[in-house]
Structure 1
Amino acid sequence: MAVHLVRPSTKFKDEYLSFYQEWKESNDNMVPLVITKDPRDFDGMINFLMNNEEGINLPEGWVRDSTYWLVTETNRILGAVNIRHQLTEKLLNCGGHIGYGIRPSERQKGYATQLLSLALEKTKELGINKVLVVCDADNIASKKTIIKNGGIQDKDYIEEDGNIIYRFWIEI
């Protein structure tokens, strides 16, 4: 199925609410972090995402970022990606430039590989030619997705709780 990235918009409200609700009901970790924002004030959520891209009223410790939704020809939202425009020390260790996720019912269909590939095109447009993408060591699917997109593994990072983060660089 053909997919593409779109900027968050009120025209996708009903579909996004379905995407969000499915994820909440699954009890899976919501990735990227920006999709955890409660969409009941949908216009406010869209404004928050646009402000993040412009660097306006960023939450403490955040950098400018761009969010896109992965959609089908029928505008079904399959996933989301958040691209950080620069790296802080924390992002360098365990966040990376790109965070992405596919809604639970659409996993294992190749969409994550497509989503990351499309996100890498966006990072290039931002002038980021060496991209850091990370995943938890136990997330085998994400590791495969990153490697399929050219990821070269770098030194792992171990969080305070002992969780191991695999770190990959992708040259564009």
Structure 2
Amino acid sequence: MVLTNLSLIKLASEHKQSLLSLVEDFHSAGEYRFQSDLEQIHNDFDVYTQRLLAMEAGVGLSKGMVPQTTLWLVRDNTYLIGKSHLRHQLTPTLKHHGGHIGYIVRPSERGRGYGTRLLKLTLGKARDLGLSRILITCDTDNIPSVRVIGKNGGVLENQLISNVSGVMISRYWIYL
């Protein structure tokens, strides 16, 4: 499959319907992501996008949170396929579980190479921030994520029981 017309963006008002479609895609698959944001996405999308920008700038963060850039993989600048969070630094908790980057792809688009592309493009943004290596964690039994991380140069550091989720996780480093 050729993955064309893909880019990373920050949300703008023209992406509201595509984001609602993405949320519905997750809900239809029994994955209830975005629940805490759903009312704001529906009722005040501009406030939602401004909150994401504030998080990137480190403004108004809750205790234990770090600045993070939220990026969206979009096809043809209209269809949202997935999102990534690029955390600018690590806390002790994120060093254990979470790492610098988290990413998701809408269920109906999985298995087509979008996760690999999303991570690759996000790594470029990490490089732009001046980061030289990136920690990524995933559940050890999440074979698709293990493959995505491997295709992007991930080197397994260790596997351990997460003190966040209580499940076995794998911790990988990617050197930029």
How would you bin the TM-score normalised by the shorter chain? Answer: over 0.9
Unaligned runs of 5+ in 2: none
With over 3 angstroms needed to count, the CA separation of the structure-2 counterparts of 1:125 and 1:74, relative to structure 1, is closer
* Partner secondary structure for residue 37 of structure 1: helix
Deviation at residue 20 of structure 1 after TM alignment: 1.3
* Partner secondary structure for residue 59 of structure 2: coil
Contact 1:93-1:157 at 8 Å conserved across structures: no
Residue 120 (1) aligns with residue 134 (2)? no
Residue 168 (1) aligns with residue 172 (2)? yes
Structure-to-structure mapping, 1:12-161, within 5 angstroms? 12-28=15-31, 30=33, 37-38=37-38, 39-40=41-42, 41-73=44-76, 75-160=78-163
With over 3 angstroms needed to count, the CA separation of the structure-2 counterparts of 1:169 and 1:35, relative to structure 1, is farther
Q: How many residues align structurally? A: 169
Deviations along 1:10-69, one digit per CA (max 9) or x if unpaired, are 121111111112112322263xxx785222221121011000001110122110000011
* Partner secondary structure for residue 104 of structure 2: strand
Whole-Å separation in 2 of the counterparts to 1:90 and 1:13: 32
TM-score normalised by structure 2 residue count: 0.90
Unaligned runs of 5+ in 1: none
* Partner secondary structure for residue 127 of structure 2: helix
Deviations along 1:118-161, one digit per CA (max 9) or x if unpaired, are 00000000011100011101100000100100000012231246
Q: CA RMSD in A?
A: 1.6
With over 3 angstroms needed to count, the CA separation of the structure-2 counterparts of 1:77 and 1:36, relative to structure 1, is farther
